[in-house]
């Protein structure tokens, strides 16, 4: 159970995604316990506040590194709970993982990156790569956005929306920040809240940006195909008119 002093005394704000909100506010998912974190989306688009990696202090970066080292042996079980809860929260995510598991069952030649088990491994590797990059915000943000952009293809094929990132952030923040490993020091819990808030913001940013590109390209393709169809239809009608005209002419 999370220390109430942490959730009540630390008023964390997000740039776009998750933030701690007063107890009793509306939630995407029901949470047990009076001290559970309450997260909602901020409409602010400004950077440079508590949701930025650059705001992490040296001691917070140390806390992140040490706590991740302690948390890592249990990370697989922790992230499995995160994804299972995300499946409950989002039918789309459940369908994606279900379809991926079916495909994987018939294809043992290579690992299917869309399955839950592979996502668990990839999420662990993601934090393995991210934690050492905290001193270089640009590299860290680029890494996060690349992950988000690779999911943009799901926007069209699976109706994946950016709201799913919100739910993932909400679940991950509660699961990670209330883990017993992080409860040993308040600094670690606060640092993870800041980091996870930034991660979700940048995942959304990468996803939304790439999804817009996909949508624009798709619209252009449809427009081109749409332009060709009336033009071809017009040519066909003109050809038929010429044929009809010739057939109507008297023999000379």
- Exposed/middle/buried for residue 13 (C-beta within 10 Å: 0-12, 13-18, 19+): middle
Ramachandran angles phi, psi of 20, nearest 5°: -80, 130
- Exposed/middle/buried for residue 36 (C-beta within 10 Å: 0-12, 13-18, 19+): middle
**Alpha-carbon gap, residue 68 to 188, rounded angstroms:** 9
pTM for the model: 0.68
**Alpha-carbon gap, residue 166 to 39, rounded angstroms:** 9
Query: Do 176 and 78 meet the contact criterion of CB atoms below 8 Å apart?
Result: yes
In a 3-state reduction of DSSP, which class is residue 39? strand
**Alpha-carbon gap, residue 50 to 56, rounded angstroms:** 8
- Taking the CB of residue 201, how many other CB atoms lie within 10 A of it? 26
**Alpha-carbon gap, residue 101 to 13, rounded angstroms:** 37
Torsion angle of C-alpha atoms 225, 226, 232, 238, degrees rounded to 10: -170
Domains parsed from the chain with CATH numbers = 57-215 (1.10.490.10)
Angle between helices 75-89 and 163-177 (to 10 degrees): 140
Quote the pLDDT of residue 160. Answer: 93
In a 3-state reduction of DSSP, which class is residue 6? helix
Torsion angle of C-alpha atoms 150, 156, 160, 161, degrees rounded to 10: 100
Closest by CA to 93, choosing from 199, 175, 16, 167, is: 167
Q: What is the pLDDT along the chain (252 residues), one digit of tens a residue?
A: 444 444 444 444 444 444 444 444 444 444 444 443 444 333 333 333 446 899 999 999 999 999 999 999 999 999 999 999 999 999 999 999 998 888 877 776 667 788 999 999 999 999 999 999 999 999 999 999 999 999 999 988 889 999 999 999 999 999 999 999 998 888 999 999 999 999 999 999 999 999 999 777 765 555 555 544 444 554 454 455 444 444 444 433
Task: Please name the helix (run of DSSP H) or strand (run of DSSP E) that holds residue 235, with its range, or none.
Answer: helix 186-248
Quote the pLDDT of residue 101. Answer: 85
């Amino acid at each position: 159970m999370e220390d109430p002093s942490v959730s009540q005394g630390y008023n964390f704000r997000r740039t776009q995604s998750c933030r701690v909100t007063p107890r009793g506010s509306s939630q995407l998912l029901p949470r047990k316990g009076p001290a559970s974190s309450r997260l909602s989306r901020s409409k602010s688009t400004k950077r440079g506040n508590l949701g930025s990696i650059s705001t992490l202090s040296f001691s917070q970066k140390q806390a992140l590194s040490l706590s991740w080292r302690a948390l890592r042996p249990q990370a697989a079980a922790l992230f499995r709970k995160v994804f299972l809860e995300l499946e409950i929260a989002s039918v789309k995510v459940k369908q994606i993982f279900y379809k991926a598991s079916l495909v994987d069952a018939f294809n043992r030649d290579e690992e299917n990156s869309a399955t839950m088990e592979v996502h668990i491994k990839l999420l662990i590797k993601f934090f393995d790569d991210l934690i050492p990059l905290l001193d270089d915000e640009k590299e860290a943000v680029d890494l996060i956005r690349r992950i988000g952009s690779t999911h943009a293809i799901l926007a069209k094929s699976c109706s994946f929306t950016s709201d799913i990132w919100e739910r993932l952030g909400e679940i991950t923040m509660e699961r990670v920040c209330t883990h017993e490993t992080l409860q040993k020091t308040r600094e670690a819990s606060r640092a993870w809240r800041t980091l996870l808030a930034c991660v979700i913001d940048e995942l959304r940013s990468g996803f939304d940006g790439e999804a817009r590109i996909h949508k624009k390209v798709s619209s252009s393709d449809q427009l081109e195909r749409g332009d060709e169809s009336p033009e071809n239809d017009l040519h066909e009608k003109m050809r038929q008119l010429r044929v009809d005209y010739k057939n109507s002419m008297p023999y000379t």
